[in-house]
Amino acid sequence: MALGAHDVLGDRVAGMLVITKDDHVPPELRRIAGIEIYESAHPMPDERSLVAGERLLRWVDELPAQAEPLFLISGGSSSLVEVLEAGVTFKDLEDLNARGLAEGVAIGELNARRMRLSRLKGGRLAQRLGPRRAQALFISDVPGDDPAVIGSGLMGPAAGGSDHVDRLIVASVSHAVAAVRAEALRWGVTVNAPGGRFDADAARLATRFAHELHLSEAQVSVWGGESTVHLPPRPGLGGRNQHLALAAAKLLSGQPNLALLAAGTDGTDGPTEDAGAVVDGETFSRISLAGLDPEECLANAASNPALAAAGDLLHTGPTGTNVGDLVIGLKMSADDAEAVLRQHGDARSPML
């Protein structure tokens, strides 16, 4: 987002403050004159989130009188940047996030809880601008693409209040789903993209997606949204997409013509360096052959080591965006897949 804004605005940019996740800063961004970069914590906040939040407040307060700020807000802002209300401790914030993630609280409800602890969220940052005009562009990872919810309302409107901020959603998971659909059609395969946004327990969604994939007459099915995971008392390593993929792998067992990808569009899934996983009808068998019990891994929310043992983890590196998660199902015989590949020469698509 920052690179795109700089490409468009050029010399009109007087200064830039970028707050993003560790190791998500492309080299060309660091070369921009006058840029200030803070690498912060995600998906769980840490002390750097508070440092970045205080810097953001100062940045707003120090704006020249004639400047019209442009705010670029994406999913992940809830964790990356924070200033706590008086009397609220970092332990309070840490406990709220840990409890919400462990209980599988939906993103909208979790963000509402975060707002109550914050001097930034819930429209408070916009209020701090006073009568100053500003623009805010949002990449959405929440249901309804509501600026009052994205990033826990960082640059959203205050409840019952007014400001002078022009807000626009520039990307959401529907754009990602449409891109997958267009690419699949370009490869000459049939597509099922039912629309809407999924937002439920990962294991339940795995059952739904596997069922729909099995019944579908299309060769590719694609869904977008975000799942949740109810964690056991001592969870293993994994993420919501890896958990969904492992749960789906159980249901795909023995079906050689089915495969499913579940991944975060930002290139990371939970506290791992993997975006998600691609599983098929042999995933559970490969995990067992590697000496792990896939059922036990699923029960313990230890999807990462199980999928690593199967060779099914998906690693993309940082993508520079975050519109939530994608689940892509493939229903194609080996002959069909070979025919598609022959049609496109020696090219190999990540989808196939």
Asked if 16 and 81 count as a contact pair (C-beta separation under 8 A), the reply is no
Cα separation, 78 vs 304, in Å, equals: 25
pTM score of the predicted model: 0.87
β-pair partners for 36 = 17
C-alpha distances in Å from residue 174, one per residue of 66, 183, 322: 37, 14, 12
Query: For strand 258-264 and strand 276-280, is the pairing parallel, antiparallel, or unpaired?
Result: antiparallel
Collapsing DSSP states into helix, strand and coil, what is residue 113?
helix
Q: Which domains are delineated in the chain? A: 2-171 (3.40.50.10180), 174-343 (3.40.1480.10)
Residue-level pLDDT at 350: 47
CA 117 vs CA 40, 265, 269, 309: distances in Å: 19, 28, 26, 41
The C-alpha angle with vertex 139 and arms to 21 and 63, in degrees rounded to 5, equals 75
Residue corresponding to tokens 């701090």: 128
DSSP structure class, residue 16? E
DSSP structural state of residue 85: P
DSSP codes joined into one string, 149-164: TGGGGTTPPPTT----
Query: Tens of pLDDT along 229-251?
Result: 999 999 999 999 999 999 999 99
In 3D space, the residue among 175, 195, 218, 184 whose CA is nearest the CA of residue 323 turns out to be 175
Cβ neighbours, 10 Å, residue 86: 5
What confidence tens digit (pLDDT) does each residue in 50-109 have? 999 999 999 999 999 899 999 999 988 889 999 999 999 999 988 888 888 778 887 778
At position 344, the amino acid (one-letter code) is H
Identify the pLDDT of residue 304. 98
pLDDT (0 to 100) of residue 346: 54
Can you say how many angstroms the Cα of residue 74 is from the centroid of all Cα atoms in its chain?
A: 9
Residues in the chain, pLDDT under 70: 345-352
Write the CA distances from 98 to 24, 44, 92, 129, integer angstroms.
23, 8, 10, 32
Tokens 């013509």 sit at which residue?
257
Nearest-CA neighbor of 83 among 112, 110, 122? 122
**Per-residue confidence (pLDDT) for residue 351, from 0 to 100:** 42
Looking at residue 109, what is its pLDDT? 84
